Amino acid sequence: MRQHVNPLSRFFQLPLSLPSNSILFKKSHYPIHLDIGSAKGEFLIELASNYPNWNFLGLEIREPLVSSSERKRKQLGLQNLKFLFCNVNISLDEWLSDLDLDQLKRVSIQFPDPWFKRKHLKRRVFKKSLLNSIARYMSKNGELFIQSDIFKLIEYMTTSIDDSIYFDRKVVKGEKWLEKNPYEVLTDRESFVLKHNLPIYRAMYIRNSALFLNYN
């Protein structure tokens, strides 16, 4: 499996019409946890198994990983979980706009590709436009959880969110970085990093009551 794909290539710039929430889930009125960059899907598979009264959607730009995750989901018979292939910066906003008011309760972005070279920074998944989409459709008090083992990347992400008027950073015991994953389920990358005793930087943001104003 190729570790990275170029999201700016012509193929990944084609917009996709994602199936509506009512088509994806049997009980479409449940609150939604959206995981951006779901990779092998194990994180959401465990959450969906543990929380049957939530719907979980994993979005991934590497299509073979989506196919593999979907096979595992079907084998387990999880009807509150779905994995879809797309470039979120091209196709997500339209899907979010069809959700019921206050339905999007959680968004997680975990260990996104860092794209270290300066000329490649524009390939990063986390952009101001993506943050705007999340802010526009997330319910008040909804959670935006991010984590990475790359400090420069998480610093870039937290600076962007901190500069937003729509999210408040959750601080625990005076520490801005969370000690543990609040969902108590580890991603594959998270397990790998912890096994090698390397640091992980985690932050939780809460959607405040500020009305969305498009400031693109």
Among candidate residues 111, 106, 207, the one with its CA nearest the CA of residue 154: 111
Computed over its alpha carbons, how large is the radius of gyration of the chain?
Answer: 16
Angle between helices 88-97 and 128-137 (to 10 degrees): 10
Query: Residue 79: what residue type?
Result: Q
What backbone torsions phi and psi does residue 87 show, to the nearest 5 degrees?
-95, 110
Ramachandran bin of 75, using left for φ above 0, alpha for ψ from -120 to 50, beta for the remaining angles: alpha
Stretch (H or E) spanning 59 = strand 55-60
CA gap 76, 62 in Å, rounded: 22
Print burial letters for 130-163: b (CB count within 10 Å at least 16), e (below 16). bbbbbbebbbeebbbbbbbbbeebbeebbeebee
- DSSP lists the bridge partners of residue 82 as 57
Q: Any idea which residues carry the catalytic annotation?
A: 113
